[in-house]
Structure formats: structure tokens, C-alpha cells
A = this chain, B = another copy of it.
Amino acid sequence: MSDPARSPARQRRKEARPQELTAAALSLFVEKGFAATRLDDIAERAGVSKGTLYLYFDSKDALFKAVIQEGIVPALHAGEALLDEYDDPLALLRAILLGWWERIGSTELGGIPKLMMSEARNFPDIAVYYQQEVIQRGTALLRKAVARGIERGVFREVDPEAICSVLIAPLVYRAMWLHSFGPCCGQETDVAQYLHTYFDLVLNGLLAPAPSGDAR
């Protein structure tokens, strides 16, 4: 009677489970939202039963918290390392923004901003954590790049704090789009074209007028 093809032998893989569960949870939370996602569905996507999920996470809330923390923390260090890698402010700024798009915006992690924004008011403590550990730190990084550019006369004098939000908004907005309207509505314009136009606008908006006599 038993059909091993239908119900494959249960596997014991204690190490890999949390990873697999948070990955499944991330994609479903981003797709449906926290409240509308059933734990049974998360477990099924991770290839386990709901009971197993409770071996690794205390509650649905705890799983949410883990999804946010695990997804974001590793991505932050990469960005902060860029400050020392690049000297030229313009190249640094491009590296930060493009790097964000390539490492986060265009990957599964790009759903986290949408998820976090949707659920911020249902999880105020996690929202505060995210705001401090992700947004503030990311903004600080950007601000240093902008400040360096202003310092050296490469960028015009602008309010560094406000400009950071304005700079990152089109990228985050685009990432959110991919996880919301993207799958429903007709295909958006080409990403490469979008990024090109974006840089074209903000860099033209930021760059100081060429010093007189500068060939380019």
C-alpha cells in the first residue's frame, strides 16, 4: 500500500532546516503578506510538516523575525567594505548603488523592503530594529560617499541626509515593484535602461559644474 514515490522517506537534516524554512517563509511572506501566509504552506514548500517548523521556531512571529534578521545582516557588511575599496566619490557612489541592486534589489532579498514596509506597523519592535540596523546603517554609508564627494568639490553642496533617501528611493521602489505589480501586470521597461536613466539623472543632478577650463 505504501508508495515511497508519493511520500519520500522522511529525512533528518537538522542543520539545513532553519535555512530552508526561512527561505520558504521569505518567499511566501513577500508574496502574500504575513497574515495571509499559512504555516502549512511554508512547511510544505520547505519539504517538511508543520510540526517540524515548531522544532526550530517558537511561533509564527519568531519565524518572521528570523526571516528579517537572517536576510539582512550578511548583506550589510559587503556594502560597508566598499568605503575603503573605492577612493573616487563618483565610483564609490556607483558601486554602492549598483551593488545594492545586484546583491539585494534584483535577488530574493529584494522582497524584504516590501515585506518590512507592509508589516512595520504590525511589528513595531522589528520595525525599529530594521530602521536602526538596516536603514540607518545603509543611509550612513551613502552619506559618507556623498560627503566625500562634496568635500572634494566633485558634488554640489546638497543636504546629505535628505539626498540619501532621494537617491535610494528609485532602486527600492523598483525592487518593490518586482515583488508586487511585476508578476501581475505587463512587463516593465528594461532594468538596464532604467538603471542607466536613473544614474544619468542623479549624477547630472549631483555633479558640480565642471571647473572652468576642465576639458571634460
Partner-B contacts on A (CB < 8 A): 31-36, 114, 116-122, 124, 127-128, 130-132, 135, 156, 158-159, 161-163, 165-166, 169-170, 172-174, 176-177, 179-181, 183-186, 189, 193-194, 196-198, 200-206
Contact = CB atoms under 8 A, between A and B. Distances in A.
Contacts of A165: 170, 173-174, 189, 194
A185 B36 CA distance: 25
**Which of A35, A158, A201 is most buried by chain B, counting CB atoms within 10 A of its CB?**
A201
Nearest to A131: B185
**Which of A116, A121, A131 is most buried by chain B, counting CB atoms within 10 A of its CB?**
A121
A194 B33 contact: no
A180 B120 contact: yes
Given A159-B197, A165-B194, A169-B170, A176 B117 contact: yes
Nearest to A190: B162
A203 to B, nearest CB: 8
Contacts of A166: 170, 194, 197-198, 201
Nearest to A135: B181
A204 B203 CA distance: 9
Contacts of A186: 131
Contacts of A128: 184-185
B122 A118 contact: no
A198 B138 CA distance: 19
A204 B170 contact: no
